[in-house]
Amino acid sequence: MKRIGIAVTDPEDWTGMAFCRAVRHYDMQPVKFSFDEAISNIASGKIYAGSVDLNALDAVIVRDMGPATNNDASFRFDILCQLRENGALVINSPESIARAANKYVSSYLFQKNGISTPETEVTSDLKEALSALSCFERAVVKPVFGYKGIGVECVRNDEKGVRRLGELFGKNKLLYIQKFIQNPGRDIRVFVVNRKVMGSIYRFAPSGSLINNLSQGGTAEPCTLTEEQERLGLKAAEVIGAVYAGVDIMEGDKDYVIEINGTPSGRGIFGACGVDVTMRIVEYLNEVL
């Protein structure tokens, strides 16, 4: 029986559990492990996570890479590359997870490939950041490696905003500053699996917040995409190289791709639309394995 590793930190995570069910559905054996417990022994070449021998897996599905400092993040990425070198199928590919996790790289790839994305400046020079803010008038500042809306803030080109940008620069030294897109208080999360759109949801921010992430109290409702939104979702997943992805689109004066998530949660779309994306992901895995 094929052994399918599921990298997940929280054993109760909805998506992690759904992946396990889906793997069993296709008569394969799910093996959960957490990157928190990763050990690699150089002399023997053995790679373990707790008691799980990662080299014995036929495939790895990455639900999450786990909370990590910079060293950890690259170690985990390297382990995935090594497992793949040793013959395991890894989805999403380590490279696509890394591109999606890095907002600088994904913005650059969107722009380069004709995917409309908000004007963005990334800089280690506070003066440059302030001049971008004065062009944008209203901007969103984000960590380059952020997720779940953590650390995303809106700043205006006024005294308070300029002060705040200075504070953020003091902490970060690298600022990712993006034009604020006037929007209807929601964004769209498009789920792509193997070059098809599986479904999409609107995510509404809780009142008084600009962040629509469901993990920050946002709510989900089913959404029907326009052709253009569907095209943007598919194209974004393609240029990042992700087999499956959650693409965030904001409806402003036109549609903009805000970001792409290479390890998205399947819970919101299941709740709102009854679509279990983990089933479709494992179906794909089962086909190519």
Ligand X SMILES: Nc1ncnc2c1ncn2[C@@H]1O[C@H](COP(=O)(O)OP(=O)(O)O)[C@@H](O)[C@H]1O
With CB under 5 A, what is the number of residues at the site for Mg ion? 2
Asked if 179 contacts 118 with a C-beta cutoff of 8 angstroms, the reply is yes
Asked if 144 contacts 176 with a C-beta cutoff of 8 angstroms, the reply is yes
Give the one residue of 248, 275, 276, 278 binding Mg ion; rule: CB under 5 A.
248
Instruction: Work out what residue 148 binds among Mg ion, ligand X, none; the CB cut-off runs from 5 to 8 Å by kind.
Output: ligand X
Give CA–CA dist 280/131, Å, rounded: 45
Residue closer to Mg ion (CB basis): 239 or 258? 258
Give CA–CA dist 84/89, Å, rounded: 6
Instruction: Work out what residue 140 binds among Mg ion, ligand X, none; the CB cut-off runs from 5 to 8 Å by kind.
Output: ligand X
CA dihedral of 222, 227, 232, 237, whole degrees rounded to 10 = 70
**Residues 218-277, interacting with ligand X (CB under 6 A):** 248, 250, 258-259
CA atoms within 13 A on the CB side of 181: 23
3-state DSSP helix/strand/coil % of the chain, to nearest 5: 40, 25, 35
Asked if 212 contacts 186 with a C-beta cutoff of 8 angstroms, the reply is yes
Instruction: Work out what residue 54 binds among Mg ion, ligand X, none; the CB cut-off runs from 5 to 8 Å by kind.
Output: none
Considering the complex, what minimum distance in angstroms separates the CB of residue 156 from ligand X?
13
**Residues 62-121, interacting with ligand X (CB under 6 A):** 118
Work out whether 217 is an interface residue with ligand X (CB under 6 A). no
Give CA–CA dist 232/255, Å, rounded: 8
Considering only the stretches 38-46, 156-164, 169-177, 205-213, report the one whose residues sit in contact with ligand X under the rule CB under 6 A.
205-213
Q: Three-state DSSP class for 202? A: strand
Q: Which residues pair with 90 in a beta bridge?
A: 60
Work out whether 210 is an interface residue with ligand X (CB under 6 A). yes
Per-residue contact string for residues 132-171; x = within reach of ligand X by CB under 6 A: --------x-x---xxxxx-x-------------------
Give the one residue of 93, 200, 213, 265 binding ligand X; rule: CB under 6 A.
213
Contacts of 46 (CB under 8 A, 6+ apart): 39, 40, 53, 55
Considering the complex, what minimum distance in angstroms separates the CB of residue 272 from ligand X?
16
Considering the complex, what minimum distance in angstroms separates the CB of residue 147 from ligand X?
5
Work out whether 200 is an interface residue with ligand X (CB under 6 A). no
Residue closer to ligand X (CB basis): 148 or 160? 148
Work out whether 34 is an interface residue with ligand X (CB under 6 A). no
**Nearest-CA neighbor of 91 among 283, 243, 267?**
243
First to last CA, the chain: 12
Considering the complex, what minimum distance in angstroms separates the CB of residue 14 from ligand X?
18
Considering the complex, what minimum distance in angstroms separates the CB of residue 82 from ligand X?
27
Q: Which residues bind Mg ion (CB under 5 A)?
A: 248, 259
Q: Which residues bind ligand X (CB under 6 A)?
A: 118, 140, 142, 146-150, 152, 178, 180-181, 183, 187, 205, 210-213, 248, 250, 258-259
